[in-house]
Amino acid sequence: QVASLAPTAPYQQQRPREDQTTLVSLRSSAFPYVGNNPSKDEPFLNVSKDGRRGHRGLGGRVFWQDQTYNDSRVLMHVPETFDIAKPGVIVVFFHGNGATLERDVRDRQRVPRQISDSGVNAVLLAPQLAVDAADSSAGKFWEPGGLKRFVAESSDHLARLYGEPGSSRAFANMPVIIVGYSGGFMPAAWSLEVGGLGNRVKGVFLLDAVYGELDKFASWVENNRSGFFVSAYTRHTQRHDQELMQMLREKSIDLSDDIDRPLRPGSVVFVRTPDGVTHRDYVTSAWTEYPLKEVLLKMAATPELRVAASASSAASR
């Protein structure tokens, strides 16, 4: 059952009564990373010059570790209405290419604001990937158990941000929703394949992000029928989305193009957006304004997914 929507007493009086957003460095975040690139079975840092190490990406461009792969910070957000005593979820957001957490994820794409405005009982973890670069490398999320370690290390910080250090265990065991935008497909796919959270991942939401790793997404959908999968796409990723749809049909998985219904366990939805919708603005304007907010609301409308929504968000549906 979804937790009661009626107002409840604060967890403790000293807990902040406003949105809390911060940047925290975590050892388990994507970078720095000195391991292998499993897609090529070679060292990720495959270039060395004048004492600097770097990664040669697509097209031969070199991205240097000290500039591009050295930021271990994570954007964390706990909404004012979040209540640890109710069922909740952690939203893990993997940003796209050419992004920074502050300029893009927080300010331009308004990811923390979308979570707060949904009224859903959710918190945010958004790791910095390649800094402001045309690169989709997953870093430590390539490693077996990478996502599990990331969520575990984050739990103490989320508890402190929430204002109740004793709530760390609840955060450490909370279900997870994975959201990937554009180049964020790479850490999203590998987190599903080897991240170590198993059926704690209750949903996947891809925002114009099916650029590759189709086998990993198809495998997760086939083997995790208790979660939902949504891929919204433009002409940029249409070919790959259609290929993924065909892979799923061959596995006898029912697909839908109706995003107006509640998301239920096993829902698989592909949403084609109009040609006028731009890839750059997709996180704030896709088939609807603020699509992350919308998907969270559709998720919270389903009792089986056990996520509480505030009275205000329930009334808005």
Indicate which CATH number applies to the domain containing 147: 3.40.50.1820
Whether 208 is in a domain gets the answer: yes
| pLDDT given at position 315 | 40
Sheet holding 62-64, edge to edge: 47-49, 52-56, 62-64
Phi and psi torsions of 271, nearest 5°: -120, 110
The H or E element spanning position 315 is helix 311-316
Give domain status of residue 169, yes or no: yes
Identify whether 127 is part of a domain.
yes
Which domain does 103 fall in, by range? 20-30+71-316
Question: How far is the first Cα of the chain from the last one, in angstroms, to the nearest whole number?
Answer: 18
Q: Contact at 8 Å (CB) between 141 and 37?
A: no
Q: Into how many domains does the chain fold?
A: 1
Single-letter amino acid, residue 100:
T
φ/ψ of residue 42, rounded to 5: -145, 160
Q: What are the helix (H) ranges across 84-136? A: 111-118
Residue 53's Cβ-count burial label (10 Å; 0-12, 13-18, 19+) is: middle
Q: State how far the Cα of 206 lies from the Cα of 185, in Å rounded to an integer.
A: 7
Question: Tens digit of pLDDT per residue, the chain (317 long)?
Answer: 333 333 444 444 456 679 999 999 999 999 999 999 998 889 999 999 999 999 998 888 999 999 999 999 999 999 999 999 999 999 999 999 999 999 999 999 999 999 999 999 999 999 999 999 999 999 999 999 999 999 999 999 999 999 999 999 999 999 999 999 999 999 999 999 999 999 999 999 999 999 999 999 999 999 999 999 999 999 999 999 999 999 999 999 999 999 998 899 999 999 999 989 999 999 999 999 999 999 999 998 776 666 655 544 444 44
| Contact in structure between 202 and 151 (CB atoms under 8 Å) | no
Instruction: Say how far residue 106 (Cα) sits from the centre of its chain.
Output: 14
Contact 137, 39 (CB under 8 A): no
* SS3 state at 31: coil
Please give the Cα distance from 160 to 46 (Å, whole number): 39
- Within a domain: residue 268? yes
pLDDT of residue 14: 59
Give the amino acid at 136.
Answer: S
pLDDT at position 301, please? 79
Would you say residue 299 lies in a domain?
A: yes
Predicted pLDDT of residue 275: 87
**Contact yes or no for 139/187 (Cβ under 8 A):** yes
CB 5 within 8 A of CB 62: no
Residue 271 lies in a domain: yes
